[in-house]
Amino acid sequence: MRRKLLHFLTMRVWHVTLPFAISLAASATLSAQCMGPGAPTNTETRCVTAVLIPGNPIRTFDISWVDANRGLYFLADRSNSGVDIISTAMNKWIGRAPGFTGVALNPNGTVNNNLSGPDGVVTHGKWLYAGDGDSTLKVFDISDPTKPVQVASISTGGTTRVDEMALTADGELLLAANNAEDPPYATLFTANGDEDSNSVSIIRKIEVDPSILPPGFGLSIEQPAWDEHTKRFYVSIPTIADNPAGCNYGQLSGPITCSGGMLVLDPTDSNPADQKVVPLNECGPNGLTVGPFDNLLEGCTPGNEPSNTSELVINADSFHYANIGNITGSDGVWFNKGDKRYYTGSNNQIGGAVLGVINGITNLLIETIPQSSRSHSVAADSNRNLIYVPQVAPRAVVGAGGDTTTVGAGICGGNSGCVAVYKSGGHAEE
């Protein structure tokens, strides 16, 4: 089975009246929120509320994103075929960017991640970019976030999803991972920056040397991130060949024993020979985020390499690294500059899914908090130090892909799933 890999707006409060039927349905299933194992009282990071999402119960979602300057949280909500938008000032759902493929199923009834959408999500100013399950990048004008308007749908030439992505700091270049193609590739786009009109277009397709990512074995690429200091994109690669020499990347029977790598891309250099792949140590990464001192947190997971038992921090300049013990299994990861902490969506953590909290200065694990069994995505509002973690509905409600524990229902206060909101206990001066 393929492994999942690689602003301005005057601040205001939106007063949104949801349709009566939706509001009534939500209130009918709502009970006390922030209860149970997902809302411990002995952690620094506290559950403060849960945002209910109108429409279908949440069976599957992908990436989430926060624009702290505009006070907006975005969630790739496949269950409702759109990108949900939440006001972080009010912690309320205010709108949805529609028109995505939604949930695609395998013949056995499980979710087919490779064909479902939306997937990757990023924003800059008035522009929302989201990948879909049909290999398209969709572009929305979110000048009014309660009524997103799609302005473009651009094919990347594949048959499977456009997954995780990253923008340069000025919002003028976008890199997106086509992780489910074989061989996988990334697509570099011009993006809209702060322009009023859309002009997104493809610059070029980027592939990894086949000696590093041999085709035919379901290898993939995952989360990219942009480092403004080095002016480089960094891209997680869950598994690369010969790391270490003679390891199994899928060409042999038995478990995967090859670690992953990190692709380093200069967007101004179009020569494939100049691409650099840095081998990682005991890490099959998915998520990637830029923290202090040009350090990058790699979200290692036994879902890619079964022996992984830690996360990894690697410097973007020297490539020196340190492993962070007692936390693993991460897909989405996020650095919150408001409290200088990393947050991990560790759905493959040994012992069960957790929200991991890591000190970004000392690179030491602070705490872990139980989550619903599919909680793999996380994003934070650095202005408010609020952390957002989506929760799926129980399996008894949505079928395969749903929560196999009672943790999500306790956090949400009901059986439809939600976005949990945590308040950081950290301080920027740490």
Q: Write out pLDDT tens, residues 223-271.
A: 999 999 999 999 999 999 999 999 999 999 999 999 999 999 999 998 8
Report the predicted TM-score, pTM, of the whole model to 2 decimal places: 0.92
Beta strands in 216-273 (DSSP E): 224-227, 232-237, 261-265
Q: Does 1 reside within a domain?
A: no
168-171: long-range pairs with CB below 8 Å, 24+: 168/226, 168/228, 168/267, 169/226, 169/228, 170/124, 170/194, 171/124, 171/125, 171/127
Please give the C-alpha separations between residue 343 and each of 43, 165, 354, 355, in angstroms, as whole numbers: 14, 18, 10, 7
- CATH code, domain carrying 96: 2.130.10.10
- 425 pLDDT above the threshold of 80: yes
Given a cut of 50, whether residue 206 has pLDDT beyond it is yes
pLDDT at residue 74 above 50?
yes
429 pLDDT above the threshold of 60: no
Coil, strand, or helix at residue 323? strand
- Domain total for the chain? 1
Assigned domain for 383 exists: yes
83 pLDDT higher than 70: yes
Residue 4 lies in a domain: no
Q: Is residue 98 part of a domain?
A: yes
Residue 81 resides in a domain: yes
368 lies in which domain range? 20-423
Predicted pLDDT at 427:
66
Residue 342: name the closest of 225, 222, 259 by CA.
Answer: 225
Does residue 11 form part of some domain?
Answer: no
Q: Let me know if residue 309 belongs to a domain.
A: yes
In terms of Cβ atoms closer than 10 Å to its own Cβ (0-12, 13-18, 19+), residue 337 is middle
Give dist(CA 361, CA 293) in Å, integer.
9
Would you say the C-alpha torsion 237, 290, 426, 358 has a positive or negative sign? positive
Q: What is the pLDDT of residue 18?
A: 33
Does residue 3 form part of some domain? no
User: What DSSP character marks residue 105?
Assistant: B
